Chain A
Amino acid sequence: MRPLLLQGHERPLTQIKYNRDGDLLMTVSKDKIANLWYSHNGEHIGCYVGHLGALWTVDCNKTSTLVITGAADNTARLWHAETGRMLHTWDLPTAVKRVEFSHDDQYVLMVTEERMGHKSGIYVFAIGISRPEQSDEPIVILRASGAKPTVAAWSYLDKFIVSGHEDGSLSLYDWRNEEVVQTAKAHDSIITDMQMWKDGTYFITSSRDMTARLFETATLEPMKIYKTDAPLNTATMTPTQDLVILGGGQAASEVTTTSSRQGKFESRFFHKIFEDEVGRSRGHFGPINTLAVQPDGKGFASGGEDGLVRVHHFDPEYFKFKYDY
């Protein structure tokens, strides 16, 4: 099916996310605006306006009542999902690169940038759902001993926080006790994205080293590797078909000229278990910065450096696709 083209941003997309029901799609971009869309027809619902810097990250709680955004204006903001009212602003020392609600919606983690003498860290705040007042005091701040963290995610049952670092390593934190349980060298270059399987038992990472990998959360044991020929910005997993989708491409500054095929700006589909490439989807004319799959597995969306969001709904053949084995 022809993808829906959402033209709501003027600058490169940084993250897109579906809510748990899959009917809403949140997109954030460097143009300081967060947009909310209906995922099935691409209708624009509204924006969350208030940030003063480029937005890096977005997340929404399981009941789709709260939306949280992180931005380069050194703040993270909490919004009322339905009305777009700003509920709270957290002031952090540096830009917020990644936010994520815990599985039980009680906490939120924020990864901050390392800049201007401030060490980067993973801040965990408690979220009061029923009360409007939010605590400005983080419960814990996790500091990395080595390279700065770039991405982080909650493990199963919110027991741990996994972080991916600039040098390609992974850390598993027992966050309540502020302890590193496990570290592992995962990639040869910066980890650009990390997305958990729905139950939090394994996750996929993407890296500029042109690979995406699958890890078991509890042990950080590598399980699968997907090799491509382009630096990757994002990776996600489809819930139903045992596939992973990878996106990336040459950085805009490295792209030379003429043909868009040189940049490798395609979403690539790999078989999750066999590690074979099974297909590609073209369309973007810049690197793909972020990918998300609809939680029911019926579609996916990609956001690119070109400022466009493409929302795909899979064709019936996709669901009939069965790998020989």
Chain B
Amino acid sequence: MVALSIDHLPASEEEIDFSDLERKFAIPEQEETLENVIFVDNLPLVEQEKEAKLISYIMKTLVKFGKVKENGIHLPKDDSTGKVMTKGYMFIEYETAEQAQTAIRGLNGWKFDKSHILLANRFMDVEKYSEVDDVYHAPPVEPYVEREHLRSWLADDGGRDQFAVYAGQDLAVYWNEPSLPAEMIHKRPNWTETHVQWSPLGSYMCTFHRQGLAMWGGESWKKLMRFVHIGVRVADFSPSERYLVTWSSEPISIDAVNQYLGEGNEHQNPYTSDDEGHTTCVWDAYTGSLLRSFPAIKTEDGKAAKPSWSQFKWSPSERYLARMTPETSLAIYDVQTMGLVDKKAMKVPGIQDFAWCPHTIIDPRTKVAKPEMIAFWTPEEGNLPARVSLISVPSKTLIRTKNLFNVFTCALHWHPQGQMLCVRVQRYTKSRKSQFTNLEIFRTNERDVPVDIIELKDSAVIFEWEPVSENYRFAIVHSDDPSPPPMNASRMATATVKTSVSFYAFERQGKLVQKEGFKLLKTLSGKNTTNLKWSPMGRHIVLATLRTISACPLEFCDVDFDQSAATKSGDAGDAITMLEAREHYGVTDLDWDPTGRFVVTSASSWRHSMENGYVLWDFKGQQLNKASVDRFKQIVWRPRPRSLLTEEQKREVRKNLKEYSKEFDEQDERKIHAADAELMSHRRRLITEWEAWREKIESLLQTDTEEALSNGYKLPAMSDNEDFVVDEIVEEIIEEKEEIIN
């Protein structure tokens, strides 16, 4: 083309060549989109006469998801067999792509009738997958990267445990040293933003950040995985650490996540448009991939329900994840598909709380795991009594229910080994003026699930099963006044509550015991205990008054201490002995180490700023170590996985305990000696350094003084009588006697 110039102006507009501009601003021809078309398969084959009936039937469902276009249904037919039959699939055209999307979600897997489960797909997908190359191309194999051993800490020679301490901005992991100050392993400033949490078997340490959650572990404390979830507040692992649920109060926004990830990292965004607005995420902890996200539960008036973190609970086998919509339903998801079991949630009007049986029980005869169980309760409603129900999962069949009357509230306490369920029922008296507690204990492992009832005169506020024991011991804190004590702004109780602590155990029918059932062992009254903590190994328990301004007692008890007294009197309660009563000023938290050897009590600056720090005790209540830490927030023991030893091996160890302990005692001794020696040499070094410095300085001073004195500098003379003795005569009248002398 000839370039435009003032000399070559075209005569008319037609002559101007606009083709370049047209090309540049051409609107690409709108392709007819098929995004709104879906393809449904697995329909029943029907004759032509019944076609209209089928369509009108399926239409009822289709319109739920959106508006189907006029003539938007196409049902291909086949007459090859002589009869005109439908081909078993259909095409449906919705008004918009979104409607089509919801329809796919709703129709896919919908049970049309007994033998027809529908499959729904996007029409575009059919095209997409038909274009896939028929020849298989193996994906490139990623080079194998060796991961550090996540449980290396268990191989420690001294069998020591680890704990994490979060204070100020610093988070650090330590080895616990019973007789020496804890040995630091790794420390980082600003490692976490809110708090720190271990996974249930101790493999991972989780830190919480604005952007999400990070998981750390291995010997080098490298970051193992991160989970992008803006504003994440809490996390909950499945029992074997395979999965992870995270919750944030902020709804997921893809744009916000992209912003955080930064430009060019959009591919790391785990979310799709389906996740937008959701608040809870379920992740695969191994791969870091998002399995599913859930929206916040809405109450009936459409507002988001008060966020409650106990909505999601894992089954012990990790196969199921259950979520309760308060007062309405219980949804059980199969973790493998992340879909609802039976495609629908269980309607449970009024449901208040539920709990999985925490342990998969193996049938001793068949060696097959029994189905898992969920217990839940519903309150009184009109004429209907309150009710506790036990269902089996996944069949959702009812195993046992029990009606309860005059119920104020219930709490569900499963025995950690899953063989007993205690329902702590808070009941009104007939006059409705006061309350008392019934403990209804379901023996879930026995046929027909018999229930034992313990009726208390007052209210049980705390209930704790002994984690391992043959006779299902438990301890309760009970009090006349079940209402919580007054609290200050940082939720420290400002007054104590008079409480008692009672111990119960299950007694089987035998020569001495006429009737099997739970029996009160002992009551310790006149306490102000607020918390009970059993040792993870059982037998030892600490009664503590936590988060109370005016009192801070810690009482270390042994429930099997005085066996001889118990055998003599035939009363197991006589064995319960308090070993030691201690105090930890301002104590807010108490935790046993995973082996049941140590207890750590701590005073967190989250609650108050007085004497923040932690104290390490042994199980008998002897103080081993005390650490005052400025702005101390949290101390958490690293959990241990379940022991791999069989019962027999454990018995063997117990039998030879003396030999083993000798070895360990020696080790401890050596360590203390080494530490002492080190400290001594360190001190000697300091002293030598100091003395050398003094010598240097004094000689310098000497020269300087001489110089100064020669220049007329004069130090005032010391008073000459530096030490003098003052003789003081003190007369004391010892006796006075008056005598008349003749």
Chain B 677-708 interface 0/1 with A at a Cβ cutoff of 8 Å (1 = within): 00010011011001001000110110011001
Q: Is the CB of B610 within 8 A of A262?
A: yes
Chain A 248-270 interface 0/1 with B at a Cβ cutoff of 8 Å (1 = within): 00000000001001100000000
Q: How far is the CB of A255 from chain B (nearest CB, A)?
A: 10
Chain A 97-131 interface 0/1 with B at a Cβ cutoff of 8 Å (1 = within): 00000011100000000000000000000000000
Closest to A158 in B: B713
Quick check: is A240 within 8 A (CB to CB) of the other chain? Answer: no
Quick check: is B182 within 8 A (CB to CB) of the other chain? Answer: no
Quick check: is B267 within 8 A (CB to CB) of the other chain? Answer: no
Q: Which residues of A contact B713 (CB under 8 A)?
A: 104, 157-158
- Cα(A229)–Cα(B585), bound, Å: 15
- Cα(A325)–Cα(B683), bound, Å: 6
Chain B 538-570 interface 0/1 with A at a Cβ cutoff of 8 Å (1 = within): 000000000001100000000000000000000
Q: Which of A156, A216, A261, A324 contacts B683 (CB 8 A)?
A: A324
- Cα(A216)–Cα(B630), bound, Å: 28
Please provide the chain B residues from 551 to 602 with a CB less than 8 Å away from any CB of chain A in the complex.
585
Query: Which stretch (B116-124, B332-340, B714-722) binds chain A?
Result: B714-722
Q: How far is the CB of B737 from chain A (nearest CB, A)?
A: 34
- Cα(A79)–Cα(B628), bound, Å: 46
Do most interface residues of chain A lie in helix, strand or loop, or is the interface mixed? loop
Q: Which of A157, A218, A229, A261 contacts B630 (CB 8 A)?
A: A229
- Cα(A21)–Cα(B628), bound, Å: 40
Q: Is the CB of B683 within 8 A of A274?
A: yes
Q: Is the CB of B585 within 8 A of A261?
A: yes
Quick check: is B611 within 8 A (CB to CB) of the other chain? Answer: yes
Q: Is the CB of B705 within 8 A of A157?
A: yes
Q: Which residues of B contact A156 (CB under 8 A)?
A: 701, 704
The range of chain B's interface size is: 20 to 34
Q: Is the CB of B630 within 8 A of A201?
A: no
- Cα(A188)–Cα(B481), bound, Å: 50
Q: How far is the CB of B306 from chain A (nearest CB, A)?
A: 32
Q: How far is the CB of B344 from chain A (nearest CB, A)?
A: 56
Quick check: is A133 within 8 A (CB to CB) of the other chain? Answer: no
Quick check: is A61 within 8 A (CB to CB) of the other chain? Answer: yes
Q: How far is the CB of A196 from chain B (nearest CB, A)?
A: 13
Q: Which residues of A contact B704 (CB under 8 A)?
A: 156-157, 159
Please provide the chain A residues from 47 to 90 with a CB less than 8 Å away from any CB of chain B in the complex.
61-63
Q: Which residues of A contact B718 (CB under 8 A)?
A: 20
Contact A62:B716 (CB < 8 A) given known A156-B704, A273-B687? yes
Give the most central of A62, A63, A105, A157: most B CB within 10 Å: A157
Q: Is the CB of A63 within 8 A of B716?
A: yes
Quick check: is A318 within 8 A (CB to CB) of the other chain? Answer: no
Q: Which residues of A contact B697 (CB under 8 A)?
A: 201-202, 216
Q: Is the CB of A258 within 8 A of B714?
A: no
Q: Which residues of A contact B690 (CB under 8 A)?
A: 273
Q: Which residues of B contact A104 (CB under 8 A)?
A: 713-716
Q: Is the CB of A273 within 8 A of B686?
A: yes
Q: Which residues of A contact B705 (CB under 8 A)?
A: 157
Q: Which residues of B contact A61 (CB under 8 A)?
A: 716
- Cα(A44)–Cα(B342), bound, Å: 92
Quick check: is A321 within 8 A (CB to CB) of the other chain? Answer: no
Q: How far is the CB of A266 from chain B (nearest CB, A)?
A: 12
Q: How far is the CB of B713 from chain A (nearest CB, A)?
A: 6
Q: Which residues of B contact A63 (CB under 8 A)?
A: 716, 719
- Cα(A21)–Cα(B683), bound, Å: 33
Q: Is the CB of B680 within 8 A of A324?
A: yes
Q: Is the CB of B715 within 8 A of A103?
A: yes
Please provide the chain B residues from 599 to 649 with a CB less than 8 Å away from any CB of chain A in the complex.
610-611, 628, 630
Please provide the chain B residues from 333 to 385 with a CB less than 8 Å away from any CB of chain A in the complex.
none
- Cα(A114)–Cα(B687), bound, Å: 42
A-side interface residues, number (CB < 8 Å): 28
Q: Which of A103, A229, A325 contacts B628 (CB 8 A)?
A: A229
Q: How far is the CB of B275 from chain A (nearest CB, A)?
A: 46
Please provide the chain B residues from 110 to 144 with a CB less than 8 Å away from any CB of chain A in the complex.
none
Q: Which residues of B contact A21 (CB under 8 A)?
A: 719
Q: Which residues of B contact A216 (CB under 8 A)?
A: 693, 697
Q: Which residues of A contact B686 (CB under 8 A)?
A: 273-274
- Cα(A258)–Cα(B610), bound, Å: 11
Q: How far is the CB of A235 from chain B (nearest CB, A)?
A: 18
Quick check: is A210 within 8 A (CB to CB) of the other chain? Answer: yes
Q: How far is the CB of A261 from chain B (nearest CB, A)?
A: 7
Quick check: is A199 within 8 A (CB to CB) of the other chain? Answer: yes
- Cα(A157)–Cα(B713), bound, Å: 8
- Cα(A157)–Cα(B712), bound, Å: 12
- Cα(A4)–Cα(B395), bound, Å: 81
Closest to A254 in B: B609
- Cα(A33)–Cα(B550), bound, Å: 40
Chain A 188-206 interface 0/1 with B at a Cβ cutoff of 8 Å (1 = within): 0000000000010110000
Q: Which residues of A contact B680 (CB under 8 A)?
A: 324-325
- Cα(A262)–Cα(B611), bound, Å: 7
Please provide the chain A residues from 268 to 286 with a CB less than 8 Å away from any CB of chain B in the complex.
273-274
Q: How far is the CB of B278 from chain A (nearest CB, A)?
A: 43
- Cα(A218)–Cα(B704), bound, Å: 12
Q: Which residues of A contact B684 (CB under 8 A)?
A: 325
Q: Which residues of A contact B585 (CB under 8 A)?
A: 261
- Cα(A216)–Cα(B708), bound, Å: 20
- Cα(A105)–Cα(B716), bound, Å: 7
Q: Which of B549, B683, B698, B708 contacts A258 (CB 8 A)?
A: B549
Chain A 1-25 interface 0/1 with B at a Cβ cutoff of 8 Å (1 = within): 0000000000000000000110000
Please provide the chain A residues from 307 to 325 with a CB less than 8 Å away from any CB of chain B in the complex.
323-325
- Cα(A159)–Cα(B705), bound, Å: 10
Closest to A276 in B: B683
Q: How far is the CB of A104 from chain B (nearest CB, A)?
A: 6
Q: How far is the CB of B639 from chain A (nearest CB, A)?
A: 31
Q: Which residues of A contact B716 (CB under 8 A)?
A: 61-63, 104-105
Q: How far is the CB of B478 from chain A (nearest CB, A)?
A: 29
Closest to B630 in A: A229
Q: How far is the CB of A240 from chain B (nearest CB, A)?
A: 14
Q: Which residues of B contact A273 (CB under 8 A)?
A: 683, 686-687, 690
- Cα(A124)–Cα(B147), bound, Å: 70
Q: Is the CB of B701 within 8 A of A325?
A: no
- Cα(A103)–Cα(B705), bound, Å: 12
- Cα(A157)–Cα(B709), bound, Å: 9
Q: Which residues of B contact A158 (CB under 8 A)?
A: 713
Please provide the chain A residues from 148 to 194 with a CB less than 8 Å away from any CB of chain B in the complex.
156-159
Q: Which of B550, B683, B719 contacts A323 (CB 8 A)?
A: B683
Q: Which residues of B contact A223 (CB under 8 A)?
A: 693
Closest to A325 in B: B683
Q: How far is the CB of A270 from chain B (nearest CB, A)?
A: 13
Closest to A63 in B: B716
- Cα(A323)–Cα(B683), bound, Å: 10
- Cα(A204)–Cα(B716), bound, Å: 24
Q: Is the CB of A199 within 8 A of B701?
A: yes
Q: Is the CB of B683 within 8 A of A210?
A: no
Q: Which residues of B contact A218 (CB under 8 A)?
A: 700
Q: Is the CB of A157 within 8 A of B683?
A: no
- Cα(A15)–Cα(B718), bound, Å: 24
Q: How far is the CB of B118 from chain A (nearest CB, A)?
A: 68
Chain A 212-232 interface 0/1 with B at a Cβ cutoff of 8 Å (1 = within): 000010100001000001000
Q: Which 10 pairs between the two chains have the least Cβ-Cβ distance?
A: A325-B683, A62-B716, A262-B610, A157-B708, A273-B690, A201-B697, A105-B716, A325-B684, A273-B686, A229-B628
With A261-B585, A324-B683 given, name 16 new contacts (CB 8 A): A21-B719, A63-B716, A63-B719, A104-B714, A104-B715, A156-B701, A157-B701, A157-B704, A159-B704, A201-B698, A202-B697, A229-B628, A258-B550, A262-B611, A273-B683, A274-B683
Interchain Cβ contacts under 8 Å between A and B, 14 examples: A20-B718, A63-B716, A104-B713, A104-B714, A104-B715, A199-B698, A201-B697, A201-B701, A210-B630, A229-B628, A261-B611, A323-B683, A325-B680, A325-B684
Q: Which A residues form the contact surface with B (CB < 8 A)?
A: 20-21, 61-63, 103-105, 156-159, 199, 201-202, 210, 216, 218, 223, 229, 258, 261-262, 273-274, 323-325
